[in-house]
A and B are shown apart, each in its own frame.
Chain A
Amino acid sequence: MQKLLKVEDGSLYPALYRMEERGWIKSEWESENNRRAKFYKLTKAGQKQLAAERAKWDRISKAVTKILRAT
């Protein structure tokens, strides 16, 4: 089961770039340990999207729980 759900760390980056493209997050280069590092922040549009996705996930998980309990 753990192997089935294994997600590579690197797959995070295309997702971050897509979210930035849609205006949900904003990135900035900052210095950390004498090196440049990129930091991501959630934008207002991103907060709205997050709330919408959370609500969507709640609806789906409640529906699946109901189905599982009924069987």
Chain B
Amino acid sequence: MNLAFSNLLNRHGLGRIASDVDEELQFHIEMLERKFMQHGMTSAHAKAAALQRFGSPDRIRKQCVEIRRRSRPLKRTLKSFSILLAFTGLAIHIHSSDCFITFGITLIWWGAGNNLGTILTHRLYCLAIAGAYLALSHIFFARKFTKTLRLMADSVACVGPS
């Protein structure tokens, strides 16, 4: 493997992914080599034919590592977090005063826009998360709202005519 590319990958914690991809590609190339040798080719010819049939391992490795890097757990977590943020925005939008509406809509737009692919792929999960999250936020905000109302009622009663 190209040393500079390998160093760059290791620096970003992607060395493991790259070595897994390497192992997978190498397995396929070796299978092709064995197949060509069974058809009477010499080892050197079989190796050359296998590489020709497979394509450039370096190019394919880079593509695979890039795809894997995109779908890393950290990124998935960040995506999920932004979905949660989006629904927080929605909750604020539903339960709070007008000054939060713009904030809520911005969060929904940002979260949904960034996660459109994930939302479309995992529609049921997203719907379940959204439902659960809205239910929780409803309980939380509703209790807070009721508590505030009670406090207001108490203070009115305190200053009211005795």
Set of chain B residues within 8 Å of A37, measured between Cβ atoms: 24, 27
Query: Inside 8 A of A18's CB, which chain B residues have their CB?
Result: 67
Q: Is the CB of B71 within 8 A of A13?
A: no
Binds B, one of A3-11, A53-61, A63-71: A3-11
Using CB atoms, name the residue of chain A closest to B124. A45
Q: Are B122 and A14 in contact (CB under 8 A)?
A: no
Interface string of A18-31 (1 = CB under 8 A from B): 10111100000000
Chain B nearest CB from A37 CB (Å) reads 6
The contact size tier of chain A is 10 to 19
* Contact (Cβ within 8 A) B53 A13: no
Residues A45 and B60 in contact, CB atoms below 8 Å apart: no
Q: Does residue B55 face the partner (Cβ distance < 8 Å to A)?
A: yes
Asked whether A9 lies within 8 Å of B28 as measured between CB atoms, the reply is yes
Whole-angstrom CA separation of A37 from B24 in the bound complex: 7
B63 touching A14 by the CB < 8 A rule? yes
A45 touches B121 (CB 8 A): yes
With contact pairs A9-B28, A10-B55, A10-B60 given, residues A17 and B67 touching in the complex (Cβ less than 8 Å): yes
Q: Is the CB of A23 within 8 A of B28?
A: no
Interface footprint category on B = 20 to 34
Interface membership of chain A positions 33-55, coded 1 if the CB is closer than 8 angstroms to chain B and 0 otherwise: 00111100000010000000000
> Closest Cβ of chain A: how far from B89's Cβ, in Å?
26
CB distance from A47 to the nearest CB of B (A): 14
A15 CA / B20 CA spacing, docked (Å): 16
Q: List chain B residues, Cβ under 8 A from A23.
A: 121-122
Q: Are A10 and B57 touching (Cβ within 8 A)?
A: yes
> Do the beta carbons of A11 and B64 come within 8 Å of each other?
no
- 27 A-B residue pairs with Cβ-Cβ distance under 8 Å, sorted by A, are A8-B53, A8-B54, A9-B28, A9-B32, A9-B53, A10-B25, A10-B28, A10-B54, A10-B56, A10-B57, A10-B60, A11-B60, A13-B28, A13-B63, A13-B64, A14-B60, A17-B64, A17-B68, A21-B67, A21-B71, A22-B121, A23-B122, A35-B27, A36-B27, A37-B24, A38-B27, A45-B121
Instruction: Give 19 A-B pairs besides A8-B54, A9-B54, A23-B121 with Cβ atoms closer than 8 angstroms.
Output: A9-B32, A9-B55, A10-B25, A10-B54, A10-B57, A11-B60, A13-B60, A13-B63, A13-B64, A14-B60, A20-B71, A21-B67, A21-B70, A21-B71, A22-B121, A23-B122, A35-B27, A36-B27, A38-B24
